[in-house]
Amino acid sequence: MDKQPEPDFLAIGRVLRPHGVLGEIRVEMLADAPDRWVGIKTVFLGSQHHQLEIVSFRQHMKV
C-alpha cells in the first residue's frame, strides 16, 4: 500500500498568549491584512496539527 502524503499547511499566525477568561487567544497575524482570515473556520495548531474551530475573531490594536 502506498502511504498518503502529508497535507500541506500554511502558517497564518503565531499564538502569543491567552486573552481573557472565555478561551480567547492573542495571535500575531502573519498576513498583511486581517480580511485574509475571513472565511477560515478551522485551523491546525502546532507540530501535531491539533484541529481548532474559529468561532470569531477581531483585530485588537496592532496585534
Amino acid 33: pLDDT: 76
Check whether 1 has a pLDDT greater than 80: no
**What letter does residue 37 receive in the DSSP assignment?**
G
Which of 56, 31, 28, 30 has the alpha carbon at shortest distance from 41?
Answer: 56
The helix or strand, by DSSP H or E, that contains position 9, with its residue range, turns out to be none
Check whether 63 has a pLDDT greater than 60: no
pLDDT tens figures, 10-39:
888 899 999 999 889 998 888 777 777 788
Q: Region 43-57: what's the mean pLDDT? A: 90
12 within 8 A of 40, measured Cβ to Cβ: yes
Amino acid 15: pLDDT: 92
Amino acid 30: pLDDT: 86
